[in-house]
């Protein structure tokens, strides 16, 4: 399953379960490494941040910008930061997790 297909499936399910969902359409000028989905459930107050990957996809690591003046965060950096944030649920989701994803969204 392609990453885009998995993300579409998650977005549709999340909206069906009442979540507000944000996904950056084109990340060209966005902060590097920021997760794919930000979801908030208005009735429960739950916040889910999700990185979507294929079965074999890997998280990007920090890297220096072209000018060498700024260390850009990787997907791993963002994930660690969100995991440490109280009240935020952070997930790295892959196609094999689809049943678990649906269960998490229904809670």
* Number of domains composing the chain: 1
Ranges of residues in the chain whose predicted pLDDT is under 70: none
SS3 percent helix, strand, coil of the chain, rounded to 5, is 35, 20, 45
How high is the pLDDT of residue 107? 92
Q: Which domain holds residue 87?
A: 3-106
Q: The domain spanning residue 55 has which CATH number?
A: 3.40.1350.10
Supply the pTM of this predicted model.
0.92
How high is the pLDDT of residue 18? 98
How high is the pLDDT of residue 49? 98
How high is the pLDDT of residue 94? 98
């Amino acid at each position: 399953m392609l990453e885009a297909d998995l993300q579409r499936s998650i977005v549709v399910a999340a909206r069906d379960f009442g979540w507000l969902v944000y996904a950056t359409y084109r990340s060209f000028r966005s902060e590097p490494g920021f997760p794919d989905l930000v979801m908030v459930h208005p009735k429960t107050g739950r916040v889910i941040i999700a990185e979507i990957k294929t079965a074999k996809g890997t998280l990007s690591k920090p890297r220096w910008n072209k000018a060498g003046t700024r260390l850009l965060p990787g997907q791993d950096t963002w994930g660690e930061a969100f995991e440490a944030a109280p009240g935020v649920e952070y997930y790295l989701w892959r196609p094999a997790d689809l049943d678990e994803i649906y269960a998490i969204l229904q809670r």
